[in-house]
Amino acid sequence: MFARISSPAVLAGLLLSLLLGGCVSSGPGKSVDLDKARETHIQLGLRYLQSGSENRELARHHFQKALELGRKDPQAHHGLALLYQADKENAVAESHFKKALRYDSKFSMARVNYGAFLYQQERYRDAKAQFQVASEDLTYNRRSYALANLGRAELRLGESDAAEAAFMKALSLSPNMSLAQLELAELKFAKGDYAQAKQYLDRYSDKNRQVPQSLWLGIRIEKIFGNRDKERSYALALKNLFPYSAETLKYQQMMAENEQQ
């Protein structure tokens, strides 16, 4: 695929020049220009899809135009899968994910997005299968992301040892991956390895914004180590930043239980 072009207007101008140019002529250049026109439609579709819900119909138009130029184009099917997923049309979205992978079984980006789609539907074993295949693609430039998501699916399936291995491998490829750092901190805490849990949480906190999960874990870790000031700091941030989170409720329940003792 040729280099990305940031502006939909520039892409549209390029598409028009292709359609008015060699695409309608005969000879070897025709197929090349048709390929470029199809790719341009796909890029336009993705740009419109990313730019907000108000542009989804434009995105749909360009993905469908791409399929008119090549009905087995995996990237066009992938684009439509993402679009229908955003529209909550899950059955149609899944059909396009499957077509994208049928026409290109090595399309790891589509496989990971399909896995994320399955994960959102709590189909964790199916999601794991997709993440597993993508994580074994040594040419995939976001392999660490596939591994981290593999670990998340394995956690949901109760496979904590396999999940830990996946998160560790993700960090070996991308040492600053926040998802893997936070999940490893949780896993180490659950195993009673509080020192390692704190190390992973500190690595996460050093470069990432706090989320309810990290703050609640910080409260529990600092409580174990008896660091009252740090525990209170985490608790204050949790209550102020995320007052209605499930983690805040857990903290309040913990405090109520302590008062009863």
pLDDT exceeds cutoff 70 at 13 = no
Write down the pLDDT at residue 1.
35
Q: For residue range 19-57, list pLDDT tens digits in order.
A: 434 443 445 555 568 889 999 999 999 999 998 888 899
**How much is the average pLDDT of 2-25?**
42
pLDDT exceeds cutoff 90 at 254 = yes
Write down the pLDDT at residue 8.
57
Q: For residue range 128-179, list pLDDT tens digits in order.
A: 999 999 999 999 999 999 999 999 999 999 999 999 999 999 999 999 999 9
Write down the pLDDT at residue 112.
98
Write down the pLDDT at residue 209.
96
Q: Alpha carbon of 182 to those of 163, 220, 234: distances in Å?
A: 13, 14, 15
Q: For residue range 54-100, list pLDDT tens digits in order.
A: 889 999 999 999 999 999 999 999 999 999 999 999 999 999 999 99
**Is there a contact between 162 and 129 (Cβ–Cβ < 8 Å)?**
no
pLDDT exceeds cutoff 60 at 258 = yes
Structure tokens at 74: 């995996």
Q: Tell me the DSSP string of the chain.
A: -PPP-S-HHHHHHHHHHHHHTGGGS-STHHHHHHHHHHHHHHHHHHHHHHT-GGGHHHHHHHHHHHHHH-TT-HHHHHHHHHHHHHTT-HHHHHHHHHHHHHH-TT-HHHHHHHHHHHHHTT-HHHHHHHHHHHHT-TT-TTHHHHHHHHHHHHHHTT-HHHHHHHHHHHHHH-TT-HHHHHHHHHHHHHTT-HHHHHHHHHHHHHHS---HHHHHHHHHHHHHHT-HHHHHHHHHHHHHH-TTSHHHHHHHHHHHHHHH-
Lowest mean pLDDT among 12-21, 70-79, 235-244: 12-21
**Is there a contact between 47 and 8 (Cβ–Cβ < 8 Å)?**
yes
Write down the pLDDT at residue 208.
97
Write down the pLDDT at residue 117.
98
Q: Between 2 and 37, where is the model more confident?
A: 37
CA distance 51 to 59: 10
Write down the pLDDT at residue 24.
39
pLDDT exceeds cutoff 90 at 247 = yes
